[in-house]
Structure 1
């Protein structure tokens, strides 16, 4: 395996750590509860950790995964071109499988799935696969600016009735997730109950708009692959370092606005813009250290990155078994700080298991299914024409 692929795999594994830490808020408090954290009366150290995760982690690691999703799509395109295969049909099948896995994941296991939206975004973004790199860059920047500006729309004040609905819903969710059977949790998760009582058209519209909200980072990943980023990291190390400083500092400042200046009308938009900017900062920071002496340490992330989909799905199985009623029933009880340490322990175990797993097998079970569906081959390998 060449150095470029190892860097991308390691970076993907690194992103999965941040995703797990951010997802711990959903595993512990629910998809709505994590943003209404005041209802849980956190201890001071948990409040500090909650804000830390919001600024340093949430909205800045999933974009890394999406960036690498776009990057890998172009790498696969180049491979398909080399073998004379129909590029868009192969990619369409791959993205469609993600949509299917995502639907199964969110219906039967957990409400915080990202695979469905990523697959949907990939299908829509197929129109850019054969475009020139600058065209992709312009579209990425344009869509990013437009979707970011939508956060300037002022939020309506929550009425007393809505406050009561949210409080009632969160209490109900706490009871069901902490003590319910698998069937009870399944029924609640798929009931369509909405504490905000939004229009019936809101969620179908959101599904349709999601590809345009999430696509900028995917397009940036496509641009990076077409521009040859990370193919020869050594000579570009200083450039990675300079970009890391700019993007990390800029991203952290933007994401901090709504916590430093509470009530700022620009808090939502700066947070929305800061998330992907900080993600790019993490990408450049990781690449800077990986292209130097840090490679021997950062390769720790490589195995889990090669088995990213399998590890992501197993994180759901592990965490729902810990927090839901059909497992240990710790929903809402562990605390944000302890949840952070639990995420580190789970991730470390996965990294060790992945390392030894790959000594015997070349790919994980879900990676194998993805390759089988992409190439229409039982072996999961691309067949010669």
Structure 2
């Protein structure tokens, strides 16, 4: 009972939130910075996002593998925050396009690995310091910080950029990196050494299940991975193109995009919780297909909206789309790969990176040729293709999808 009541260091929650805010400040406003402040064409707006996606895949794979061999992640978090400070300083001081691209791809994406390392630290903390009964709730709270960060981050970013300029906004982001880097060494406790020479019982059990598990339906797995990649593609294309679509085509100030995105993030939290509850009672594939329908309505609504209130109303569909996708998507992949939860989680995470890469190409080419509004027409087609792919997914009797252990655990 004493273990169950042991308090969790609040620094873990605060620093997870703070690193999430940095991304929520910089990423939604970055397309406006490139198009308006640097004055580049749509093709050159999409190019840095392509590099960001590729660099994120490489950095996360390499750093994730290497960092698992370290006994203390805290200096690593602080070091990556230092790189993030340098990238934001370059954003604030220069208006040379290729220097900005270099800073975004080589430096900012590496700086944001601090968030991945914060999540890794929280998993280490849970494994070494918490009783099993508390781990699901702890993980859910830590991962919920990113949703909460996106409630506050985008409105703050667009307000700072609109009223004080992009340079001020980037100095604020740099300051947040400094805060996270310095306080990570103070607020996060040093964790005791773990016995890495002997896998825990659950890992042994999983390894046994992996060798004994039947091979998943490869076609269904491939279709699922393609569909999730396409759905993450349209979501990221929405984040890149919406500010410029509103400004160029509807005459709505881009600062309103921050409030729109914050509203969606706020609604996503209860949707994720509700999805976790319903996932135990309703077929998960049916819920994921429902998310696709919500996404289709969202992008169609953006195309035909002419008033600000309509865009705010559409955020309920955005919340359903992302809340279900993020909350339950990994469970579908796990059902297709029984006994291989680690591999399933890695594959699902990679669909987000592939989606980000595809979206940057989508925005760069479509917006350059046809304008930012056309990005949403293409998104409608992509969502339809994802829905067709989901219709082809079939589960074996032993692969019945089940709900995740805690809402928000998909990462």
| TM-score (norm: length of structure 2) | 0.33
Higher helix share goes to which structure? 2
| TM-score (norm: length of structure 1) | 0.34
Point out which structure has higher relative CO (alpha carbons under 8 A, 6+ apart).
Answer: 1
